[in-house]
């Protein structure tokens, strides 16, 4: 029987959607691998805006419950167990939206950043990023989660440096400073640690693709690849 979504009454809008999606997944209406309704459909069926639906889906992605496949839709990644931190994080995330806002800001900013970097990318930039990617590979293979995250941030900062634009570089440093917030670190751990090697190797592959586009000085391709990165993991 099809899950009956309820219209919004008193709850905060993204939380309203997130809780119903979790309930539908737990009830078996959507199993692992199943595709969820589109943002437009969820907006219609829950009585909230598509923006609120996007926030709810972003919360579930950060909780590791769903995953988005670019151009295909959002799918159930795992069924959350009762009374786990994964359930609680949804409520925390919706009540404290800074991590969601940060991801939105990073996505908007870094697409433009990588396009500028691609046009100015030189051999020195290539050597620096290649060294970082090699170290990311070693960290992923050895399950060194914290080192990988530090190197990941270094990769993005090196892309900012490749723009040869101090304002761009300083702006990214400010965004990365927010990522040191305790709540953000907890979200990262919840999202990545359960299957960290699989995730880290997949993330490494995506960053290598961004690197290849930069080496080709292909601004359009680099922008598309980093946009896909944020759509997949934000």
The H or E element that residue 157 is part of is helix 145-162
Where would I find the beta strands (DSSP E) of the chain? 66-69, 73-76
Identify which of 21-25, 104-108, 177-181 has the greatest average pLDDT: 21-25
Residue that has been written with the tokens 């761009």 in this structure:
168
Look at residue 36 and tell me whether its pLDDT is greater than 90. yes
Q: What CATH architecture is 98-233?
A: Up-down Bundle (1.20)
- The listed CATH number (3.30.2080.10, 1.10.760.10, 1.10.10.10, 1.10.490.10) that belongs to domain 13-94: 1.10.10.10
Mean of per-residue pLDDT scores for the chain: 83
The answer to whether the beta carbons of residues 179 and 187 sit under 8 Å apart is no
Residue that has been written with the tokens 């989660």 in this structure:
145
- How confident is the model over 4-20, as pLDDT tens digits? 776 655 457 788 888 88
Instruction: Quote the pLDDT of residue 106.
Output: 86
> Sign of dihedral through CA atoms 99, 103, 104, 106?
positive
- Take residue 36 and report the two structure tokens written for it: 């969820």
- Helical H segments across 121-144, by residue range: 123-141
Q: How confident is the model at residue 62 (pLDDT cuts 50, 70, 90)?
A: confident
The answer to whether the beta carbons of residues 94 and 12 sit under 8 Å apart is yes
The answer to whether the beta carbons of residues 201 and 143 sit under 8 Å apart is no
Instruction: Quote the pLDDT of residue 190.
Output: 54
Look at residue 232 and tell me whether its pLDDT is greater than 70. no
Instruction: Quote the pLDDT of residue 14.
Output: 80
* Domain edges within the chain: 13-94, 98-233
Mean pLDDT of 137-164: 92
Contacts of 183 (CB under 8 A, 6+ apart): 92, 96, 98, 99
Q: What is the C-alpha separation between 152 and 59, in angstroms, rounded?
A: 21
Three-state DSSP class for residue 197: helix
Question: Per the confidence metrics, is the pTM higher than 0.75?
Answer: no
- How confident is the model over 177-196, as pLDDT tens digits? 877 665 556 655 655 555 56
Please state, for a pLDDT cut of 70, what percent of the chain lies above it. Answer: 79
Instruction: Quote the pLDDT of residue 233.
Output: 56
**13-94 and 98-233 agree in CATH topology:** no
Look at residue 120 and tell me whether its pLDDT is greater than 90. yes
Q: How far apart are the first and last CA of the chain?
A: 31
């Amino acid at each position: 029987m099809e899950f009956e979504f309820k219209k919004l009454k008193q709850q905060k809008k993204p939380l309203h959607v997130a809780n119903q999606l979790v309930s539908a997944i737990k009830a078996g209406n959507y199993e692992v691998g199943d595709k969820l309704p589109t943002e437009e459909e969820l907006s219609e069926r829950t009585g909230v805006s598509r923006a609120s639906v996007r926030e709810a889906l972003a919360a579930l992605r950060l909780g590791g419950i769903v995953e988005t496949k670019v151009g295909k839709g959002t799918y159930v990644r795992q069924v959350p167990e009762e009374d786990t931190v994964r359930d609680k994080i949804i409520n925390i995330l919706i009540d404290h939206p800074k991590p969601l806002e940060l991801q939105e800001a990073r996505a908007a900013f870094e697409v433009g950043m990588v396009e500028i970097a691609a046009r100015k990318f030189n051999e020195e930039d290539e050597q620096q990023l290649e060294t970082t990617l090699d170290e990311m590979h070693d960290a992923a293979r050895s399950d060194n989660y914290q080192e990988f995250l530090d190197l990941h941030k270094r990769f993005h900062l090196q892309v900012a440096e490749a723009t040869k634009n101090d304002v761009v570089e300083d702006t990214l440093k400010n965004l990365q400073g927010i990522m040191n917030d305790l709540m953000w670190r907890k979200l990262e751990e919840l999202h990545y640690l359960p299957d960290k090697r699989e995730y880290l190797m997949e993330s490494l592959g995506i960053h290598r693709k961004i690197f290849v586009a930069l080496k080709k000085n292909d601004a359009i391709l680099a922008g598309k690849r980093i946009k896909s990165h944020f759509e997949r993991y934000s």
